[in-house]
Amino acid sequence: MTDHTRISDLPKLVGQTATLRGWVMTTRSSGKIGFIMLRDGSGYLQAVISRGEVIDEIWERFEQLTQETSVAISGEVRADRRSPGGVELGVRDLEILGKSEDFPITPKEHGTTFLFQHRHLWLRSRRQVAIMKVRHELVQAIRDFFYQRDFILVDTPILTGSIGESAGTLFETQYFDLGKAYLAQTGQLYLEAAAAALGRVYCFGPTFRAEKSKTRRHLTEFWMVEPEVAWFDSEDNMKLQEEFVSYIVGRCLDRRREELKELERDTAPLERVVPPFHRISYTDALERLRALGAEVPWGKDLGGDEETLLANSFDRPVFVYNYPKEAKAFYMKENPADPRTVLNNDCLAPEGYGEIIGGSQREDDYDRLLCRIREENLPEEAYGWYLDLRKYGTFVHSGFGLGIERTVAWICGIPHVREAIAFPRQMHRLFP
Amino acid sequence: MTDHTRISDLPKLVGQTATLRGWVMTTRSSGKIGFIMLRDGSGYLQAVISRGEVIDEIWERFEQLTQETSVAISGEVRADRRSPGGVELGVRDLEILGKSEDFPITPKEHGTTFLFQHRHLWLRSRRQVAIMKVRHELVQAIRDFFYQRDFILVDTPILTGSIGESAGTLFETQYFDLGKAYLAQTGQLYLEAAAAALGRVYCFGPTFRAEKSKTRRHLTEFWMVEPEVAWFDSEDNMKLQEEFVSYIVGRCLDRRREELKELERDTAPLERVVPPFHRISYTDALERLRALGAEVPWGKDLGGDEETLLANSFDRPVFVYNYPKEAKAFYMKENPADPRTVLNNDCLAPEGYGEIIGGSQREDDYDRLLCRIREENLPEEAYGWYLDLRKYGTFVHSGFGLGIERTVAWICGIPHVREAIAFPRQMHRLFP
């Protein structure tokens, strides 16, 4: 079957003949000349068929083509400036490989529910292809960033006995005779153990929240990348974050400009994503929010609306740091300068996208950590191994988590995270 | 905290002073000269302390050092051919950062159960660090292989309503009001949909089997990479596999030679992993097995022992192709030349490691696929979307899955997959 060329390789073959395999998007015909818009995943191609230059049987096949018919087309590759990729194909031969009758997704408008019910077919649209390619680039950029900096990938478990953050929002499953296992909400705790072994580590996998949330920022299953670094304090952590976010955004701008154009993304705000990011303490952020008309009592976490409001007042991502202890997770290190707060930060994306990163320096003092576990009424025995990390050569360390779908949505400029993953999972959506 | 140097950077700093942060592995002392073996995840370093050259307090701190104490050490970087990395450190200053009393894993022998109960600490050992670094390299090599060849990464869902392969071995969880969700055993079915959109795709994530299996080749949670290619037949598929396996093995040989040496891996058999791999049909394999003393009735799948026996008779990986239909999954394409068999292949690694890949051309005929779904008594309605792929522009396509832990175990030359992942999950093991 490797007797065919991919559309993306055609510009190298001008003047030669080639065979392509792909799917028909649209056709039009003057009766004498016909046009086929073809896609094969690698790109888009206009094929031109002249009634006078092919035998009748080939022209008749052309006339049978419908949306999403799969075909093999052979012909001459011709330079054509107006065509996508700068080439078109002069059809000599056309073979129908798979018919397509009444393809459900037509060029007309469809409702969101209908489209997600047909997600397996909707993925073929230009817009979805573009989003998937940006996501693909983003993920590889993330892995390259850490690989180049000697971070060791450590895949942390999904099935966990101990618990990450919010016990109320866990999916659970029966695990043989060992009782319940929970789907991981984070790999962080395991990563901290790995950081003591390998220094700089990261995990990158699916995470789960059984949240009954219907916002445009939440999925029940989403991918998260989490680096963890031995001997990094909160300040180092924020520097790593701004370097990281700038790199991955820059990489998508560099290599996926065509897809961003397809998505009609204004790239100017993305071009501004370079260090240093803005920094504002939680306490100062409340003041700024007050000036913007939003009153948040000290001690309360910021909600999505407040994040949007705050982030919109900056021209690039902003770090909000040192949140109140009561609003954040038990493992965050107490701020020695103000013990009501912790050494953490969120990173908020501009243009209304809000939180894409949560990070912190971790509590490395055995007694203080034990005290926090008890204060939160967490099952102490499940955290025995985690406490061990503070017992045997404790170490300053920090890390963060970046949500992939939120970052894809931001870079692509799409309103909802559900389009940022091939088969989204929401509380009301488990198919296809 | 970025005031320190990593051990791996020391060779560049000979003649200069440096500060390191890490953990003490061992110490020894003549009373006048002391040696500290230090690790920081990036490498290993011998630090030398002379009683006459430091103040008493520093020497006293040296004498307090125990296994896994975390320290900051400053001193002069000196070239020393006998030392790991070719350098040693002449200690000027030594600070104890975190004590470590009675670290559970001592240089003496420990039982397997004990070690896995202390997996969070055991990861710090030289052997485990080496395995994790090989795994890390392997994963990046896999991603680079596909990225360079324009395969688009598509993350497929873990929570699934429809079912992959063996309904008997699924983990299930309650999914809001939608009934049960099952943890994915494969991303393949979703990938086939994505291949029609993007041409060449792959997924790479954790997969789950609730198998009550205690063999050295099984975990309940393991990582799998699965490419899927539009317009590839079974022959193209095997070519891709041999190119792929050769690349990832070669990359580990190139970049992780030190770790393979640490693991005392004989690399000669790995050097032989180059195309073409051996090929033998299932039917011929039975004959060869018979000659080797193992009788398998035609129609039965090969077991681990038979795979080992067969693979050991080849000097590099071997493809066993065209298995009986009854032994394999419903989605595999019927072999037109012999409809009792399917167009599939397994890839068996040598040296007793056995199956690392299962692959096949997929059934692209709507009627035959529906017939197979009915024959297997699968819930037809759950496969409606999957059948759609044969309804709207069907296409020849093939793909395969490679198990990461089996491949890590093979490359590292370790006997059991449980050491090939940081926190293994087996039927009797869910902690830490």
With 80 as the cut, is the pLDDT of residue B2 above it?
Answer: no
Instruction: Determine whether the interchain pair B1/A139 forms a contact, defined as Cβ–Cβ distance below 8 Å.
Output: no
pLDDT, position B1: 58
DSSP A119-179: HHHHTTSHHHHHHHHHHHHHHHHHHHHHHHTTPEE-PPPSEESS--S-GGG--EEE-TTS-
Identity of the amino acid at A150: D
Whether the pLDDT of residue B165 is over 60: the answer is no
Which pLDDT tens digit goes with each residue over A202-256? 999 999 999 998 889 999 999 999 999 999 999 999 999 999 999 999 999 999 9
Q: How large is the average pLDDT for residues A150-166?
A: 85
Enter the pTM of the model: 0.98
Q: How far is CA B246 from CA A63, B105, B237, B355, B406, in A?
A: 46, 37, 14, 15, 15
**pLDDT value of position B214:** 84
Q: Is the pLDDT of residue A164 over 60?
A: no
Q: What DSSP letter does each residue of B287-330 carry, written as one string?
A: HHHHHTT----TTSPP-HHHHHHHHTTSSS-EEEE--BGGGS-T
- Tell me the nearest-neighbour CA distance from B335 into chain A, angstroms: 16
Q: For residues A344 and B221, what is the distance between their CA atoms, to the nearest angstrom?
A: 32
A165, with CB counted inside 10 A (0-12, 13-18, 19+), is middle
Question: At A330, which helix (H) or strand (E)?
Answer: none
| Exposed/middle/buried for residue A13 (C-beta within 10 Å: 0-12, 13-18, 19+) | middle
Q: Does the beta carbon of A256 lie under 8 angstroms from any beta carbon of chain B?
A: no
Q: What is the mean pLDDT of residues B371-383?
A: 92
Q: Is B312 on the interface with A (CB under 8 A)?
A: no
What lies within 8 Å, CB to CB, of A365 at 6+ separation is A390, A394
Asked if residues B167 and B185 have their Cβ atoms less than 8 Å apart, the reply is no
Nearest to B205 among A24, A205, A427 (CB): A205
**Tokens found for residue A401:** 């988590």
The pLDDT assigned to B351 comes to 94
Q: How confident is the model at residue B162 (pLDDT cuts 50, 70, 90)?
A: low
Per-residue model confidence as pLDDT tens digits over B141-159: 999 999 999 999 999 999 9
Residue pair A91/A44 in contact (Cβ under 8 Å)? The answer is no
CA distance A419 to A413: 11
With a cut of 80, say whether residue A430 has pLDDT above it: yes
Residue A123 has pLDDT above 70, yes or no: yes
Q: Pick from A156, A423, A425: which is nearest to B423 by CB?
A: A156
pLDDT tens-digit map of A253-292: 999 999 999 999 999 999 999 999 999 999 999 999 999 9
Looking at residue B3, what is its pLDDT? 78
**Which of A160, A385, A396 shows the shortest C-beta gap to B1?**
A396
Q: What is the pLDDT of residues A1-18, one digit of tens each?
A: 567 899 999 999 999 999
Tokens describing residue A109 = 């408008």
Q: What is the mean pLDDT of residues A129-152?
A: 98
**pLDDT tens for each residue of B242-289:** 999 999 999 999 999 999 999 999 999 999 999 999 999 999 999 999
Average pLDDT for A162-174: 76
Closest-CA residue of B relative to A207 is B158
Asked if residue A107 has a cis previous peptide bond (ω within 30° of 0), the answer is: no
Contact partners, residue A120, CB within 8 Å, separation at least 6? A432, B190, B193, B385, B386, B388, B389
Q: Find the length of chain B.
A: 432
pLDDT at A303 over 60: yes
- A-chain residues within 8 Å CB-CB of B41? 152, 195, 197-201, 230
pLDDT one-digit tens code per residue, A313-345: 999 999 999 999 999 999 999 999 999 999 999
What whole-number distance in Å separates Cα of residue B362 and Cα of residue B189? 10
Q: Is A128 in CB contact (< 8 Å) with chain B?
A: yes
- Residue A162 clears pLDDT 90, i.e. is over it: no
State the sign of the Cα–Cα–Cα–Cα dihedral B246, B248, B252, B254: positive
The end-to-end CA distance of chain A, in Å, is 29
pLDDT tens digits for B44-80? Answer: 999 999 999 999 999 999 999 999 999 999 999 999 9
Measuring CA to CA, how many Å separate A335 from each of A172, A342, A378?
Answer: 34, 5, 22
Burial of A198 (0-12, 13-18, 19+ CB in 10 A): buried
How would residue B307 be classed by pLDDT, with cut points 50, 70 and 90?
very high
pLDDT digits (tens, 9 = 90+) for B85-111: 899 999 999 999 999 999 999 988 999
Cα(A350)–Cα(A359) distance, integer angstroms: 18
